[in-house]
């Protein structure tokens, strides 16, 4: 797919089809200011846009596959949710927010963050608020708080073009991510429903297919249903009761072991952990002698 122009908004198609570790970005050209949203699509494209003019950088959230080339814009003010700012101020907070504990894991990720994702600590940002409308000059933007994926995840609605930027509620067949320390299954579900209800004509997700020029329709429910499918698989697997290790080695989320092992084993474990916490809170399972059992 190629970059596409909608009025003053450019959909900038990402490398690797917008799949991790890249994304699709948006470039906004208002009369008053030009903005790049989520600068992780392609170093070459972003360097060109920088020459064309970028006044501000906005982020949907703090994840590395959305800040990969933020370093190109070090002189541009950064705008994002205050709730997602702490991990960008210090690599140790970044690693804490992913729940990385062992020195080996922290060392592995710190190196990747600096070498591949160009991580540099940032000392200040302007915080965007839910429901705030910003006039860029001939183009306005409504800020929509969509927590869950991360606590400060933001989506953006452009009324003139009836275009909705979904960020990482990306409607992929893998389903939503809510594996960080501060992610929330409940908030993820509420945010998917909030986005679905917005009357847009075009939808942009930060990854994979990216641009939808017709209502994604059943994709919305399919995406939300993956949460319940994961939960049902887990509940069936807890008959008889299992330890966390036994659950994780069944690959209920990813279906099978994937490479790089360090990355996917960790992801499987944190997503399963979120579901176990959620089911424990609801009183639908219990933990006895290190085993999880259905109630
Ligand atoms: Zn993300």
Confidence of residue 262 (pLDDT cuts 50, 70, 90): confident
For residue 145, give both structure tokens. 């708080």
- What are the residues whose beta carbon lies below 5 Å from ligand 1 (ion)? 63, 168
> Sheet containing 154-158: which strands, arranged edge to edge?
133-135, 140-145, 154-158, 163-167, 202-205, 211-212
**What is the distance in A from the centroid of ligand 1 to the CA of 168?**
5
What is the spatial distance between Cα 100 and Cα 266, in angstroms, rounded to a whole number? Answer: 9
Q: What is the pLDDT of residue 85?
A: 98
Long-range Cβ contacts of 275-278 (<8 Å, 24+ apart)? 275/185, 275/230, 275/231, 275/234, 276/234, 276/244, 276/247, 278/185, 278/186, 278/231
Among 135, 134, 224, residue whose Cα is nearest residue 185:
224
Ligand 1 centroid to residue 184 C-alpha, Å: 13
Instruction: Tell me how far the alpha carbon of residue 167 lies from the centroid of ligand 1, in angstroms.
Output: 8
Quickly state the pLDDT bin for 144 (edges 50, 70, 90).
Answer: very high
pTM of the model: 0.96
Helix locations, 37-120, DSSP H: 43-52, 64-67, 86-89, 91-97, 103-115
- Give me ligand 1 centre to Cα 23, in Å: 10
* pLDDT above 90: residue 197: yes
For the chain, domains (ranges, CATH) are: 4-216 (3.60.15.10), 234-294 (1.10.10)
Spacing, Cα 61 to ligand 1 middle (Å): 7
| Across 183-207, average pLDDT | 97
Mean pLDDT of 170-199: 97
- Give the C-alpha separation, 283 to 54, whole Å: 50
CA of 289 to the centre of ligand 1 (A): 35
Backbone angles phi, psi at 156, to 5 degrees: -130, 130
Rounded average pLDDT over 226-249: 97
Strand partners, 134: 141
């Amino acid at each position: 797919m190629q970059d596409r122009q909608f009025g003053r908004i450019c959909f900038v198609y990402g490398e690797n089809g917008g799949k991790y570790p890249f994304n699709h970005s948006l470039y906004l050209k208002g009369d008053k200011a030009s903005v790049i949203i989520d600068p992780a699509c392609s170093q070459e494209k972003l360097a060109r846009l920088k020459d064309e003019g970028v006044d501000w950088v906005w982020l949907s959230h703090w994840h590395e596959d959305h800040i990969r080339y933020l370093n190109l814009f070090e002189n541009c003010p950064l705008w994002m949710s205050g709730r997602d700012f702490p991990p960008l101020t210090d690599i140790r907070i970044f690693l804490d927010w992913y729940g990385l504990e062992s020195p080996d894991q922290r060392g592995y990720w710190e190196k990747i963050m600096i070498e591949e994702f160009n991580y540099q600590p940032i000392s200040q940002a302007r915080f965007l608020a839910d429901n705030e409308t910003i006039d860029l000059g001939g183009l306005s933007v409504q800020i929509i708080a969509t927590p869950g994926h991360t606590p400060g995840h933001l989506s953006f609605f452009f009324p003139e073009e009836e275009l909705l930027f979904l960020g990482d509620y990306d409607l992929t067949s893998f389903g939503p991510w809510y594996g960080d320390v501060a992610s929330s299954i409940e908030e993820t579900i509420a945010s998917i429903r909030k986005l679905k209800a917005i009357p847009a004509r075009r939808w942009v997700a930060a990854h994979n297919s990216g641009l939808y020029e017709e209502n994604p329709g059943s994709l919305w429910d399919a995406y939300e249903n993956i949460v319940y499918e994961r939960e049902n698989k887990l509940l069936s697997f807890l008959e008889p009761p299992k330890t966390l290790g036994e659950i994780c080695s069944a690959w209920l989320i990813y279906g099978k072991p994937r490479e790089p092992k360090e990355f996917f084993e960790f992801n499987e474990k944190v997503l399963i952990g979120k579901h176990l916490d959620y089911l424990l809170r609801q009183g639908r399972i219990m933990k006895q002698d290190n085993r999880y059992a259905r109630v």
